[in-house]
Structure 1
Amino acid sequence: MDDHAAALLDFEPRFATVAVIIPAMNEARNLPYVAERMPEVDEIIVVDGHSTDDTVEVARTLWPEALVLTQTRSGKGNALACGFAHATADIIVMIDADGSTDPAEIPDFVDALLCGADLAKGSRFSQGGASDDITFFRRWGNRGLNWLVNRIFDAEYQDLCYGYNAFWRTNLPVLDLPDVHAKTPQWGDGFEVETVINVRMIRAGKKIREVGSHERCRIHGRSNLNAVSDGMRVLRTINHERKLHRSTRR
């Protein structure tokens, strides 16, 4: 039994309730693995991205008490924002539905928050972190974007482009994510949401702690990630946040 599997047996969130947000689109074959590794938490919210497979039915079978809802637009950012809007627990954890982010690591993220962090930021490049999936091209792209954010915002991130994060729900106003009820696509609806969260937490002066995390390969299906187009969206996001940062400091 590995250390994280052992932690599942005696993990009980103390002093705070925990909600896990799982955006999922056509992940019916991967959700059983996610459920198997999930510790006892207070809320599970599965946000379906208009799946054409049995994602919704599988989610309801695996987690009968979970809230399963359909996102209002498209994109990972909108799915997360929809989940955040329905969460009532003290701590919000965001993970992927494809098996790449290990739910058994949730206690590590919760511990970081209970020890004083505002954002527990998953990192594949911190102590205890690793990746079975990242390519050479994506690694160097991430490194460049990471350097840029650290330089502009005086941050110390080691892994900007990784979506396994946890934060106190009271920090949701800081994130200022797009209105989930807007009818048209919004900036922040896509993969750039992770950069938005990381940068706005830094801009607000919040305490960040990176948590070593082991990224696995997707179990079934194909990733929706496109290294070039999504990298450009992240770059545009950094530039947008840089302008906001300058205007607020005047």
Structure 2
Amino acid sequence: MNAVVDVILPCLNEAEALPWVLARMPDGFRPIVVDNASTDHSAEIARDNGAAVVDAPQRGFGAACHAGLLAASADVVCFMDADASLDPVELPRVTTTLGTYGQGPGLVLGRRRPSGRGAWPLHARLGNAVLARSLNGKAGTVLRDLGPMRAVRRTRLLDLALEDRRFGYPLEMVLKAAAAGWTVAEVDVTYRPRRGRSKVTGTVGGTVRAVRDMRRVLAEAAQ
């Protein structure tokens, strides 16, 4: 594709994965690595591999995502994990589904399809399924996954004024998009075993924290 798409990559100690992720970025997709106070030279590695780097010293997944969104300038922005569990080569599938402005979905999520041993631990998959069901009941969506690879138009997302700066950010994005009357769609993407140490889905504690944050966002939306 000719148009530039900004790809926001929240990053906390992903030095092992970043070279592979950045090497597979498609033409027309510009990586923005948001360094969330890493201690393993992730920022330096990202720069050496051609990415723009934004510092987000406030720890939190949502804080990193929002810092990347503010730094982006393209009409379309994508979000994806920087741990090599998602392949940037599949980004055009997500952005193509987004369609042109005013036509097609307002937000597209990549529905994860696990590939490889340990790609998506059972505890994380169950937590995701419960949250997706709760979200669908609240927002009227029909999602099967709260996929971390997603595409949206930058100015429209800024207009949603997302407030969560923790793991509730992705869920809040869908809630507010649905409340604004957007169509939220899914497209299948491959989900691989991550590289390096997992901070969230690979650990029970990380999954519990993510579920807790997302449940909080759902509870606040119900008030």
Fold shared, TM-score > 0.5 on shorter chain: yes
1:222 and 1:207 mapped to 2: Cα distance?
32
Which amino acid in structure 1 is aligned with residue 212 of structure 2? M
* TM-score, structure 1 normalization: 0.80
Which ranges of structure 1 fall in alignment gaps of 5 or more residues?
1-11, 179-187, 244-250
How many residues were matched structurally? 214
Map of 1:5-154 to 2, 5 A cutoff?
Answer: 12-13=1-2, 16-63=3-50, 66-114=51-99, 116-124=104-112, 129-130=113-114, 132=116, 133-154=119-140
The residue aligned with 1:202 is 178
In structure 2, relative to structure 1, the CA distance for the partners of 1:205 and 1:69 (3 Å cut) is: same
Taking the TM superposition and a 5 Å limit, the aligned residue runs for 1:178-217 are 178=163, 188-217=164-193
Q: Kindly report structure 1 stretches of 4+ aligned residues shifted beyond 4 Å.
A: none
- Opposite residue 168 of structure 1, the aligned amino acid is R
Backbone CA RMSD of aligned residues: 1.7
CA offsets 1:73-127 (integer angstroms, 9 cap, x no match): 1111100100100111011001111101110111101101125221111112xxx
Contact 2:34 2:64 survives alignment (8 Å): yes
Matched residue of 2:141: which SS?
Answer: coil
Give the counterpart letter for 1:33 in structure 2.
W
Cα separation, 2, equivalents of 1:136 and 1:69: 33
Counterpart code for 2:182: K
Contact 2:114 2:120 in 1 (8 A): no
**How far has the Cα of 1:41 moved from its partner?**
2.3
Q: Secondary structure at the match of 1:213?
A: strand
> CA contact under 8 A between 1:192 and 1:233: conserved in structure 2?
yes
Instruction: Give yes or no for the alignment of 1:239 onto 2:219.
Output: yes
Higher Cα radius of gyration = 1
Q: Secondary structure at the match of 1:173?
A: helix
- CA distance in 1 between counterparts of 2:107 and 2:87 reads 18
Secondary structure class of the residue paired with 2:215: helix
Corresponding residue SS for 2:6: strand
Q: In percent, how many aligned pairs have the same letter? A: 32
Q: Is 2:22–2:31's contact at 8 Å kept on the other side of the alignment?
A: no
Q: State whether residues 45 and 68 of structure 1, in contact with CA within 8 Å, keep that contact through their aligned partners in structure 2.
A: yes
Structure 1 residue 57 displacement after superposition: 1.1
Runs of 5+ unmatched residues, structure 2: none
Residue 152 (structure 2) aligned to one of 141, 156, 167: 167
CA distance in 1, matches of 2:200, 2:143: 24
Quote the offset at 1:42 in angstroms. 4.8
Partners of 1:139 and 1:167 in 2: how far apart?
24
Q: How does the TM-score come out when normalised to structure 2?
A: 0.89
- In 2, Cα distance between the equivalents of 1:27 and 1:140? 25
